[in-house]
Amino acid sequence: VVSRAVLAVAAAALVAGVGLSAAPGAAAGVHDHRGYPAALAVGEPTRRFTLTAGVRGAAWAFNGQVPGPELAVTVGDVVEVTLRNRDIEQGVTLHWHGYDVPNAQDGVPGVTQDAVRPGQEFVYRFRADQPGTYWYHTHEASSLGVRKGLFGVFVVRPAAVTGVDRVVGGPFVERVRPGTPVRLRLVNTGNTTHRYAPAGAPFRVAAIDGVDLRGPTDLTDTAVAIPAGGRYDLTLTAPATPITLFVDGKATYSTVAATATATAASAAPIAAASTRTWPVLDPLTYGSAAPAPWPRADREFTLVLDRGIDLRRLVPRYAHTVGGAAYPHIPNQTVRRGETVEFTVVNRALVVHPWHLHGFHVLVLSRNGVRATGSPLWLDSFDVRPGEVWEVTFRADNPGVWANHCHNLPHADAGMMLHLTVG
Ligand code: C2O
Ligand code: CU
């Protein structure tokens, strides 16, 4: 299969044979300066990557490219990523969006590390034990940095891959033999929701935010709405005819079938149906429900998203706020390690706020008082639309100070962000 070979080459090219220089913190033992696990005791790295951030024309790039290189590893790998900042004056970090790393590896400047300044480097090291689709991005001046290009895809593959396993985000013109199993990894790195629909074959949503769904069923003529920061893995069996991926109703990427005749035939239908819309899947009712009850919460809190007055400004003005306050004035939440935490997000504003918690996936309990009835839905990013109320829960088993914020990054930079401390 052509695309796998191409992927393998691309991934191999990223492996930098370095690691001889002393990694900052490498000698610090198993805890960082705050006493939280630094996970440096993960063993010898089996995959090493170097990402060098630099200005490239109007863009900011990792290794000269936007998006940055796809980092693909396999479950069981010990991953080491050396981040270097060549000349980004604002500073750079790497946050592993959706990948629940130990706190010291989380890449939040001023919390888990200092931003990496021009000429400096920082080494991230963690074990890849959570298969799935994730992404990495700078968390320093994140709105500007991500918009300018400091992001890329991070994939943890299960040990064995059969068929075509492809990240969609770059060109997607593939030659796929009919009957081949295909996995499309869709990553929304933007600030707003996007709708994706593969047309030309029935598909399933195999995973959301890196977590496999239970009992996914075939979908046709359906779009999936991915929140800012979210990921959906779609699986399908390659038909004899082309598949076209529609993004926001527009034909964007397309496969070509393996034979020359099918290739020739493929152009016409795509052009003819270049804009289409479909009903959007509700993930809360998709797949089969779990029998096991979730434990009662030890802690509960509520975040009310609204528009309040941001007092940090020289001239205080309205901003996206939580309970009327902006970072750092939003009360931080503190829970004990091991507790079951439930929190409610209420959107009293007029715009969508894609909510994102670092360090954990949350189990969706209900939306607008209606319990989730589909597959257990473990998310790290979820759209809270105007008027909506989401109840989610998680077990606080990953100690540290974790960012909890809106992933419309201009909102986060403007203060729609708080910290959750698991002590
Ligand atoms: Cu992808 Cu704190 O963010
Ligand atoms: Cu927001």
By the 8 A CB rule, do 354 and 406 touch?
Answer: yes
Q: Could you give the CA distance from residue 69 to residue 136 in angstroms, rounded to a whole number? A: 10
The mean pLDDT value for 275-302 works out to: 89
**Minimum-distance ligand 1 atom for the alpha carbon of 135:** 1
C-alpha to C-alpha distance for 223 and 247, rounded to whole angstroms: 9
ipTM over 0.95: yes
Residues with Cβ within 6 A of ligand 1? 95, 97, 137, 139, 229, 356, 358, 403, 405, 407
Distance 209 CA to ligand 1 centre (A): 13
> Topology of domain 164-281, per CATH?
Immunoglobulin-like (2.60.40)
Share of the chain above pLDDT 90, in %: 67
pLDDT of residue 18: 22
pLDDT score for 251:
78
What pLDDT is recorded for position 350? 93
Residue 17 in this model has a pLDDT that exceeds 60: no
Residue with the smallest CA separation from ligand 1 atom 1 is 97
The residue with greater pLDDT, 302 or 241, is 302
C-alpha angle 103-108-109 in degrees, rounded to nearest 5? 130
Q: For 299-422, CATH number? A: 2.60.40.420
Calculate mean pLDDT across residues 268-297.
79
How far apart are alpha carbons 365 and 348 in whole angstroms?
20
- Burial of residue 177 (CB within 10 Å: 0-12, 13-18, 19+) is middle
> CA-to-CA distance for 342 and 17, rounded, in angstroms?
44
Q: How many other C-beta atoms lie within 10 A of the C-beta of residue 291?
A: 5
Q: Quick one: which ligand is closest to 402's CA?
A: 1
pLDDT band at residue 38 under the 50/70/90 scheme:
low
Neighbours of ion ligand 2 (CB under 5 A): 353, 406, 408, 411
Place of tokens 């009327």: 324
Token pair 């003005």 in the structure block, residue: 317
Residue 65 has pLDDT above 50, yes or no: yes
| Angle, vertex CA 205, rays to CA 266 and CA 282, nearest 5 | 110
Judged against a pLDDT cut of 70, whether residue 35 lies above it is answered with no
Per-residue tokens: 395: 């077990």
pLDDT-derived band at 269 (thresholds 50, 70, 90) equals: very low
Phi-psi region of 302 (alpha: psi -120 to 50; beta: other; left: phi over 0): beta
Pair 346, 304: CB distance under 8 Å: yes
The DSSP code sequence of 357-386 is: ESS--EEEEEETTEEP-SS--EESEEEE-T
pLDDT band (50, 70, 90) for residue 319: confident
165 near 156, Cβ under 8 Å? no
Ligand 2 centroid to residue 406 C-alpha, Å: 5
Report the 10 Å Cβ neighbour count for 276.
Answer: 14
Give the position, in ligand 1's atom list, of the atom nearest the Cα of 403: 2
**CA-based angle 53:158:135, to the nearest 5?**
25
Nearest ligand to the CA atom of 228:
1
- Ligand 1, atom 3, lies closest to the CA of 97
Model pLDDT, residue 32:
57
**Do the domains 2-157 and 164-281 sit in the same CATH topology, yes or no?**
yes
DSSP 196-224: EEEESS-EEEEEETTEEPSS---B-S-BE
**pLDDT, tens digit, for every residue of 162-211?**
777 777 654 457 677 888 888 899 999 999 999 999 998 999 999 999 99
Cα–Cα dist 57/137, whole Å:
19
Class (C level, CATH) for 2-157 = mainly beta
**Residue 39: pLDDT band with limits 50, 70, 90:** low
Would you mind telling me the total number of residues written for the chain in this entry? 423
d(CA 407, ligand 2 centre) in Å: 6
Higher pLDDT residue, 330 or 35?
A: 330
pLDDT, the chain, mean? 85
- Residue 267: strand, helix, or coil: helix
Residue among 203, 209, 206, 204 nearest 231 (CA): 209
pLDDT at 89 (0 to 100): 97
pLDDT confidence of residue 240:
86
> Any idea where the domains of the chain sit in the sequence?
2-157, 164-281, 299-422
Give the Å distance between the CA of 420 and the centre of ligand 1: 14
Average pLDDT over residues 141-151: 95
Reduced to 3 states, what is the DSSP secondary structure of residue 167? Answer: strand
| Amino acid present at 336 | R
Structure token digits, residue 368:
């607008």
Where is pLDDT greater, at 375 or 13?
A: 375
Q: Is the pLDDT of residue 263 over 50?
A: no
CA of 98 to the centre of ligand 1 (A): 8
pLDDT of 288 over the 80 cut: yes
pLDDT score, position 21: 27
pLDDT digits (tens, 9 = 90+) for 322-371: 999 999 889 999 999 999 999 999 999 999 999 999 999 999 999 999 99
Average pLDDT for residues 98-107, to the nearest whole number? 96
Ligand 1 centroid–CA 269 distance in Å is 38
pLDDT greater than 70 at residue 385: yes
How confident is residue 215, by pLDDT bands cut at 50, 70 and 90? very high
Mean pLDDT of 53-70: 96
* Stretch among 62-71, 175-184, 213-222, 228-237 having the lowest mean pLDDT: 175-184
Question: pLDDT band at residue 29, thresholds of 50, 70 and 90?
Answer: very low
* Residue 417 Cα: closest atom of ligand 1: 2
| pLDDT of 389 over the 50 cut | yes
Angle at 10 between CA 201 and CA 182, to 5 degrees: 15
In the structure, what pLDDT confidence band is assigned to residue 274 with cuts at 50, 70 and 90?
Answer: low
